[in-house]
Protein backbone atom coordinates (compact mmCIF):
# COMPACT_ATOMS: atom_id res chain seq x y z
CA UNK A 1 0.00 0.00 0.00
CA UNK A 2 1.30 3.48 -0.68
CA UNK A 3 1.25 6.28 1.88
CA UNK A 4 -1.85 8.03 0.53
CA UNK A 5 -3.81 4.78 0.39
CA UNK A 6 -2.88 3.97 3.98
CA UNK A 7 -3.91 7.46 5.10
CA UNK A 8 -7.21 7.33 3.26
CA UNK A 9 -8.10 3.72 4.12
CA UNK A 10 -7.32 3.77 7.83
CA UNK A 11 -10.49 3.30 9.88
CA UNK A 12 -10.90 2.23 13.47
CA UNK A 13 -11.60 -1.45 13.84
CA UNK A 14 -12.56 -3.02 17.16
CA UNK A 15 -12.87 -6.63 16.08
CA UNK A 16 -9.80 -8.77 15.48
CA UNK A 17 -9.11 -12.27 14.21
CA UNK A 18 -8.79 -14.42 17.36
CA UNK A 19 -5.63 -16.35 18.14
CA UNK A 20 -3.38 -14.65 15.59
CA UNK A 21 -0.18 -13.24 17.03
CA UNK A 22 1.53 -10.27 15.39
CA UNK A 23 5.21 -11.14 14.79
CA UNK A 24 7.72 -9.35 17.00
CA UNK A 25 9.46 -7.78 13.98
CA UNK A 26 6.18 -6.24 12.88
CA UNK A 27 5.60 -4.74 16.33
CA UNK A 28 9.15 -3.36 16.36
CA UNK A 29 8.54 -1.83 12.93
CA UNK A 30 5.38 -0.14 14.21
CA UNK A 31 7.22 1.39 17.16
CA UNK A 32 9.99 2.43 14.77
CA UNK A 33 7.40 4.35 12.74
CA UNK A 34 6.11 5.94 15.95
CA UNK A 35 9.51 7.08 17.16
CA UNK A 36 10.21 8.83 13.83
CA UNK A 37 7.28 11.24 14.23
CA UNK A 38 8.02 14.95 14.56
CA UNK A 39 8.32 16.47 18.03
CA UNK A 40 8.48 20.03 19.30
CA UNK A 41 12.17 20.95 19.70
CA UNK A 42 12.96 17.33 18.78
CA UNK A 43 12.69 16.25 22.40
CA UNK A 44 11.26 12.81 21.53
CA UNK A 45 9.69 12.47 24.98
CA UNK A 46 8.11 9.08 24.34
CA UNK A 47 8.35 5.53 25.55
CA UNK A 48 6.36 2.69 23.97
CA UNK A 49 5.15 -0.32 25.92
CA UNK A 50 4.18 -3.23 23.66
CA UNK A 51 1.77 -5.61 25.36
CA UNK A 52 1.25 -9.07 23.89
CA UNK A 53 0.47 -11.14 27.01
CA UNK A 54 -3.18 -12.15 26.94
CA UNK A 55 -3.71 -11.71 30.67
CA UNK A 56 -2.31 -8.17 30.56
CA UNK A 57 -4.51 -7.32 27.56
CA UNK A 58 -7.53 -8.58 29.49
CA UNK A 59 -6.55 -6.50 32.55
CA UNK A 60 -6.18 -3.37 30.40
CA UNK A 61 -9.60 -4.02 28.88
CA UNK A 62 -11.13 -4.40 32.33
CA UNK A 63 -9.73 -1.02 33.37
CA UNK A 64 -10.28 0.92 30.13
CA UNK A 65 -14.01 1.64 30.04
CA UNK A 66 -13.82 2.79 26.40
CA UNK A 67 -11.48 0.01 25.31
CA UNK A 68 -13.12 -3.24 26.39
CA UNK A 69 -12.32 -4.72 22.96
CA UNK A 70 -8.61 -4.65 23.84
CA UNK A 71 -9.26 -8.05 25.44
CA UNK A 72 -9.66 -9.47 21.92
CA UNK A 73 -6.76 -7.78 20.17
CA UNK A 74 -3.41 -9.43 19.43
CA UNK A 75 -1.25 -6.63 20.80
CA UNK A 76 -1.59 -3.20 22.31
CA UNK A 77 0.95 -0.39 22.18
CA UNK A 78 0.76 2.02 25.10
CA UNK A 79 2.27 5.36 24.11
CA UNK A 80 3.74 7.33 27.01
CA UNK A 81 5.43 10.72 27.08
CA UNK A 82 7.34 12.53 29.78
CA UNK A 83 5.71 15.71 31.06
CA UNK A 84 7.10 18.18 28.52
CA UNK A 85 5.37 21.33 27.25
CA UNK A 86 4.15 19.63 24.07
CA UNK A 87 3.85 16.07 25.34
CA UNK A 88 0.31 15.64 24.04
CA UNK A 89 1.03 16.87 20.51
CA UNK A 90 4.19 14.75 20.34
CA UNK A 91 2.52 11.60 21.64
CA UNK A 92 -0.42 12.06 19.30
CA UNK A 93 1.92 12.38 16.30
CA UNK A 94 3.58 9.09 17.25
CA UNK A 95 0.20 7.44 17.74
CA UNK A 96 -1.04 8.50 14.32
CA UNK A 97 2.18 7.29 12.68
CA UNK A 98 1.62 3.85 14.23
CA UNK A 99 -2.00 3.72 13.07
CA UNK A 100 -1.05 4.61 9.50
CA UNK A 101 1.80 2.10 9.51
CA UNK A 102 -0.53 -0.60 10.86
CA UNK A 103 -2.97 0.08 8.01
CA UNK A 104 -0.12 -0.17 5.52
CA UNK A 105 0.75 -3.60 6.98
CA UNK A 106 -2.82 -4.85 6.65
CA UNK A 107 -3.48 -4.74 10.39
CA UNK A 108 -6.70 -3.61 12.04
CA UNK A 109 -6.27 -0.96 14.71
CA UNK A 110 -8.08 1.38 17.05
CA UNK A 111 -6.91 4.30 19.12
CA UNK A 112 -8.12 4.09 22.72
CA UNK A 113 -7.82 7.25 24.81
CA UNK A 114 -5.06 7.28 27.41
CA UNK A 115 -4.80 10.84 28.64
CA UNK A 116 -7.40 12.43 30.93
CA UNK A 117 -9.40 9.24 31.52
CA UNK A 118 -10.63 7.91 34.85
CA UNK A 119 -8.60 4.75 34.17
CA UNK A 120 -5.33 6.50 33.23
CA UNK A 121 -3.62 6.07 36.61
CA UNK A 122 -4.73 2.45 36.99
CA UNK A 123 -3.26 1.51 33.61
CA UNK A 124 -0.02 3.30 34.47
CA UNK A 125 0.20 1.23 37.66
CA UNK A 126 -0.57 -1.99 35.79
CA UNK A 127 2.26 -1.30 33.33
CA UNK A 128 4.74 -0.10 35.99
CA UNK A 129 4.96 3.35 34.44
CA UNK A 130 6.65 6.11 36.46
CA UNK A 131 4.25 8.50 38.22
CA UNK A 132 5.24 11.46 36.05
CA UNK A 133 4.72 9.60 32.74
CA UNK A 134 1.74 10.72 30.66
CA UNK A 135 -0.30 7.96 29.05
CA UNK A 136 -1.19 9.29 25.61
CA UNK A 137 -2.94 6.38 23.96
CA UNK A 138 -3.53 2.66 23.90
CA UNK A 139 -3.35 1.32 20.35
CA UNK A 140 -5.29 -1.90 19.86
CA UNK A 141 -3.87 -4.04 17.05
CA UNK A 142 -4.72 -7.29 15.36
CA UNK A 143 -5.54 -8.94 12.08
CA UNK A 144 -8.86 -7.91 10.57
CA UNK A 145 -11.89 -10.10 11.20
CA UNK A 146 -14.29 -8.79 8.60
CA UNK A 147 -15.12 -5.23 7.74
CA UNK A 148 -15.51 -2.75 10.59
CA UNK A 149 -19.16 -2.17 11.54
CA UNK A 150 -20.92 1.22 11.70
CA UNK A 151 -18.13 3.17 10.06
CA UNK A 152 -18.60 6.79 11.13
CA UNK A 153 -18.98 9.29 8.28
CA UNK A 154 -16.35 11.91 7.48
CA UNK A 155 -17.06 15.57 6.77
CA UNK A 156 -16.77 16.39 3.08
CA UNK A 157 -13.69 18.15 1.70
CA UNK A 158 -15.74 21.13 0.47
CA UNK A 159 -17.17 21.59 3.96
CA UNK A 160 -13.84 21.70 5.78
CA UNK A 161 -11.51 23.34 3.24
CA UNK A 162 -11.32 27.14 3.25
CA UNK A 163 -9.17 29.05 0.80
CA UNK A 164 -7.35 32.13 2.10
CA UNK A 165 -9.92 32.99 4.81
CA UNK A 166 -11.79 30.98 7.41
CA UNK A 167 -15.09 32.67 6.42
C1 LIG B 1 -7.94 11.07 20.90
C2 LIG B 1 -8.77 9.89 20.48
C3 LIG B 1 -9.29 9.06 21.44
C4 LIG B 1 -10.06 7.94 21.07
N5 LIG B 1 -10.50 7.11 22.05
C6 LIG B 1 -11.22 6.03 21.72
C7 LIG B 1 -11.65 5.14 22.74
O8 LIG B 1 -11.32 5.31 23.91
N9 LIG B 1 -12.38 4.06 22.36
C10 LIG B 1 -12.71 3.83 21.06
O11 LIG B 1 -13.39 2.82 20.79
N12 LIG B 1 -12.31 4.65 20.06
C13 LIG B 1 -11.57 5.75 20.37
N14 LIG B 1 -11.11 6.57 19.38
C15 LIG B 1 -11.41 6.27 17.98
C16 LIG B 1 -12.52 7.17 17.45
O17 LIG B 1 -13.75 6.78 17.97
C18 LIG B 1 -12.50 7.12 15.90
O19 LIG B 1 -11.25 7.54 15.44
C20 LIG B 1 -13.59 7.99 15.30
O21 LIG B 1 -14.88 7.49 15.59
C22 LIG B 1 -13.45 8.12 13.78
O23 LIG B 1 -13.44 6.85 13.17
P24 LIG B 1 -12.21 6.35 12.29
O25 LIG B 1 -11.04 6.12 13.21
O26 LIG B 1 -12.69 5.09 11.65
O27 LIG B 1 -11.88 7.43 11.30
C28 LIG B 1 -10.33 7.68 19.71
C29 LIG B 1 -9.78 8.52 18.73
C30 LIG B 1 -9.00 9.59 19.12
C31 LIG B 1 -8.38 10.47 18.04
> Tens digit of pLDDT for each residue in 52-95?
999 999 999 999 999 999 999 999 999 999 999 999 999 999 99
The pLDDT of residue 104 is above 70: yes
Pocket probe mutation, ligand 1, options 92, 113, 151, max atoms within 8 Å of Cβ? 113
The pLDDT of residue 150 is above 70: yes
Answer yes or no: is the C-beta of 60 below 6 A from any ligand 1 atom. Answer: no
13 Cα: distance to centroid of ligand 1 (angstroms): 9
110 Cα: distance to centroid of ligand 1 (angstroms): 7
Query: What is the reported pLDDT for 149?
Result: 73
Q: 110: which DSSP letter?
A: E
Mean pLDDT of the chain: 97
Pocket probe mutation, ligand 1, options 112, 120, 137, 141, max atoms within 8 Å of Cβ? 112
Reported pTM: 0.98
At 140, is the secondary structure helix, strand, or coil? strand
Q: What confidence category does residue 1 fall into, taking pLDDT thresholds of 50, 70 and 90?
A: low
| Mean pLDDT for the stretch of residues 14-26 | 97
Query: What is the reported pLDDT for 147?
Result: 75
Q: What confidence category does residue 121 fall into, taking pLDDT thresholds of 50, 70 and 90?
A: very high
The atom of ligand 1 lying closest to the CA of 11 is 26
Residue, of 140 and 1, whose pLDDT is higher: 140
Quick one: what percent of the chain has pLDDT higher than 90?
Answer: 95
Answer yes or no: is the C-beta of 119 below 6 A from any ligand 1 atom. Answer: no
**Of 143, 125, 42, the residue nearest 80 (C-alpha):** 125
The pLDDT of residue 50 is above 70: yes
What's the order of all strands across the beta sheet hosting 75-81? 46-51, 75-81, 134-142, 108-113
H or E, element range at 50: strand 46-51
Q: What is the pLDDT of residues 133-148, one digit of tens each?
A: 999 999 999 999 987 6
Report d(CA 55, CA 22) in Å as an integer: 16
Residue nearest to atom 18 of ligand 1 (CA): 12
**Of 65, 52, 151, the residue nearest 114 (C-alpha):** 65
Query: What is the reported pLDDT for 93?
Result: 98
Query: What is the reported pLDDT for 123?
Result: 98
Amino acid sequence: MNTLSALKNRRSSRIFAPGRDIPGDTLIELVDCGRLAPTARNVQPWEFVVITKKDTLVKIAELASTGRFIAGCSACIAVFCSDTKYYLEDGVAATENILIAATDMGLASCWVAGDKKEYTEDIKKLLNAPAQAKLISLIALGYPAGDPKNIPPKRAINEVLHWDHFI
